[in-house]
Amino acid sequence: MSNSEHGSSHRSGSDHVSEAPPRKKRNRSSDDLTTGPHLQEPDPYEHLHRSMRKFSGEWIKGRWRKAEMELLLSNVGCYCQKHDISNVSEFLQTGRTKVKSEFYAEVAWGIKRPLFYVYQQIWRLYPTASTVGRFTEDEIEQLKMLQQQYGNYWAKIGRQMDRRDDSVKLKFSRFGSVCGAWGKEELESLVSAVTECGEDDINWKIVARKVKTRNYQQCRRKWVFFMCWKQLESPVSWCKQDTIRLVQELSQSTATNEEEVDWKKMAESDWPSARSASYLRSKWAALRRQVPNYELHSFRANVKCVHKKLMKNGSVVTS
C-alpha cells in the first residue's frame, strides 16, 4: 500500500509520521462524516478504553451484540472512506504504528468495551493471514523454532508463518497440554482450583496454572459443561421435557437475537436440569442447527421453526 493510501496522516517522501493532535481538539468539517454520529463528538466510553483494570466492572462482557457489530463496521467504513483506505486487511498489515493506533481509537467510538477487545474483534473481521485451519507437523516445528528465536513476539512469528498472531499464540499455549479424557487427579485439581478462585468470577488462566496439565480453554469447557453440574447433590439429567421448556421460553421471550436472551436468569430459575447459562445456550445451538440453512434465518424465525417441529412430532431431542 502506498503512502497516499494510509490517509492524511502520511506525507509522501517523509520517513516520519507527525504527531496527531488529541481527537477532542481536532477540527472536523461535516465533509469528514459519512453515516451516523461517528467522530462528531467525544467518545462516551473513552475512559473504558484507557484501562482494563481500573474500570473492571463497567464494560460489556461476553459475545458481541448485533448492534455493537453494526456500529463497529459503520465506524470502520467511516474511517476508511475519510482516509481513502480500500483494503482494511492490507492497511492493518502494512500501516504504521501511530496511524493504526489512531484507527483503533476512532473505530471504538461508542462501543462500551476496552480498546483491546475492539482490537481483537477487528483482527477477526479483517484477517491479514491467508493460512487458516489446523497446524501441520512442519508448522508446529517451525512455530517452536521461531518462538525460541523471537520469544513471545507473536506478530513477527505470525507474519513469517502467514498466520494470525493470536492463532500462533494460542497454538503455542497448548503445547504441553494433555488431550483426551480427564484423569481422576486432573478432575480433583480442577475442582480444587475453581473452589480457590471462587465460582462467581473465575480466572481460567489461574485455574489452568493450578491444574498444570490442561490449558485454560480445556478447564473452562470441562467445568462449565460437566463438572459444575456433577458437584450438585442430586444431579438431574436433561430430558425431552427440558427441550420443550427451552424452546417454549425462547418462543415466549421478546428477544430478537441470542444476545438479548437472559440465559443466566433462565438457568437460575426453578429448573433442576439447567446446568448453566452456557449449557442452555449450547442446547439451543444444537436445536438451531436442525433447521435447514439456519444461518440464513433470523433468531425469531429459527425459534418458530424449531417450536413448530417440536410440537408437531416431538422429534427434536438434544443429547
CA atoms of 150 and 41, how far apart (whole Å):
42
Q: Please give the model's pTM, rounded to 2 decimal places.
A: 0.49
Task: For residue range 213-224, list pLDDT tens digits in order.
Answer: 888 888 888 887
- Mean pLDDT to the nearest integer, 230-237: 64
CA atoms of 208 and 193, how far apart (whole Å):
8
CA atoms of 305 and 4, how far apart (whole Å):
51
What values do phi and psi take at 147, rounded to 5?
A: -65, -35
Q: How confident is the model at residue 283, as a pLDDT?
A: 87
- Mean pLDDT to the nearest integer, 151-167: 81
- Mean pLDDT to the nearest integer, 221-240: 73
Task: For residue range 2-44, list pLDDT tens digits in order.
Answer: 444 444 444 444 444 444 444 444 443 333 333 444 555 677 7
Q: Is the pLDDT of residue 70 over 60?
A: yes
